Structure 1
Amino acid sequence: MTSTANDRLFLTDYFARLQEANALGDSLMDKVAATRDAFTAAKEAGGKVAIVGNGGSAGIAAHIAIDLAKNGRVPAVCFNDAAQITCLANDYGFENWLAHAVRMNLRKGDVLVAISSSGKSPNILNAVGAARDLGLSVVTLSGFLPDNPLRALGDINFWADSRAYNIVETVHQFWLMSVIDLIIGKAEYAAS
């Protein structure tokens, strides 16, 4: 089946939205470079980067943690283990399980990366609060409304100007991948 005129209109608009949300400017370049610096500083101090999110953002967190550790050679973790989630959510409530995971696993010198498309997820906001209590550096990635609460809580705050989940999540993943490739110093390299 070939695309229809309506398909072409939809896709033209959709791809334009992605390009607009991912427009490169000085502010974005500075944030990517600052994030690289925070990640490498954590590594040099013997620390690590922890990346958290819910749903699709949890998938991004897992992907970035693996690539950051493997390819970027910066120790990185995410807290997506089902047993840990169900244990801590059962004991402390879903809104607080991530905050407790942060308190159990992170120390001064580590970096928390908090991803939430809406910027309103209570468990993500509480994890950032726990990270702040520990004196950690915090990087946030959010989207949707410009005044979402997460956007104001980090040392470095990325915001995707879109209300479309898939565009926001794609942009978040791309931005974090660009940090890894900036650490490596090239865009093309062998996978192993």
Structure 2
Amino acid sequence: MTAIVDFLVKSRDTVQSAIDDARFIDTVAAISDLVTMSLRNGGKLLTLGNGGSAGDAQHIAGEFVSRLNYDRAPAAAIALTTDTSVLTAIGNDYGYEQVFERQVRALGRPGDVLLAISTSGRSPSVLRAMDAGRELGLKIVAFTGATGGSMPERADLCLHAPSDATPLIQQIHITAAHIVCGIVEENLFPRPGA
């Protein structure tokens, strides 16, 4: 029981740290505005990450394309973590470090938003994708941990989860993504009478 309570307390404290961090709140708002503007202007959201962050990338894209809080039109989002033929072909032919970079080069257009997720901020495949996105004129958003590794200098907006523990960082990332999606949903597809 102690391990359960300890983890829940750490989780609560991490969320409270995010609530208390004005920079965190401002960054979530700025990301919401950036994604809203991109989608409103015909752009799309590209998401990526490895491991648990790949799951988060897919989850986020699904919320945009399907729905989050209510029925509305779909919003353009693609998770670059889901096409096993593309992932394995690039990994085999070019090396795993290029699995996202080549997809960004194939699918990214100026005005799109690239959401790169890495708890450490040091994943070569993620960093290369960010560099490719910047080169192509995409807006780069990073979700990372407290230190951010090499992501902050590559990003237009960098959201730092206030933790160094991977599970807690990931909890903050998906929570922040839900907030962003909810705000974008309301901005682009306001509910009647809202």
> What secondary structure, in the 3-state scheme, does the structure 2 residue paired with 1:149 have?
coil
Q: How many angstroms does 1:168 deviate by?
A: 1.1
2:181 match: 180
Alignment of 1:12-23 (within 5 A): 12-22=5-15, 23=18
> What secondary structure, in the 3-state scheme, does the structure 2 residue paired with 1:167 have?
helix
Alignment of 1:125-164 (within 5 A): 125-143=127-145, 146=147, 148-164=149-165
TM value normalised by structure 1: 0.86
* Alignment partners' CA distance in 1, 2:121 and 2:87: 20
* Alignment partners' CA distance in 2, 1:36 and 1:171: 16
Farther-moved stretch of structure 1 (99-108 vs 158-167): 158-167
Note if 1:44 corresponds to 2:40: yes
Q: Deviations over 1:15-40 (max 9, x none)?
A: 23222322213222211111111111
Q: Is the 8 A contact 1:39 1:74 kept in 2?
A: no
Q: Is the 8 A contact 2:119 2:148 kept in 1?
A: no
Which structure 1 residue ranges, 4+ long, deviate > 3 Å from structure 2?
A: none
> What secondary structure, in the 3-state scheme, does the structure 1 residue paired with 2:42 have?
coil
Q: Deviations over 1:5-63 (max 9, x none)?
A: xx23x333322322232221322221111111111111122110000000111011001
1:124 match: 126
Alignment of 1:1-192 (within 5 A): 7-8=1-2, 10-22=3-15, 23-24=18-19, 25-71=21-67, 73-80=74-81, 81-143=83-145, 146=147, 148-185=149-186
Q: How many angstroms does 1:147 deviate by?
A: 5.2
TM value normalised by structure 2: 0.85
Q: Is the 8 A contact 2:143 2:160 kept in 1?
A: yes
How many residues were matched structurally?
179
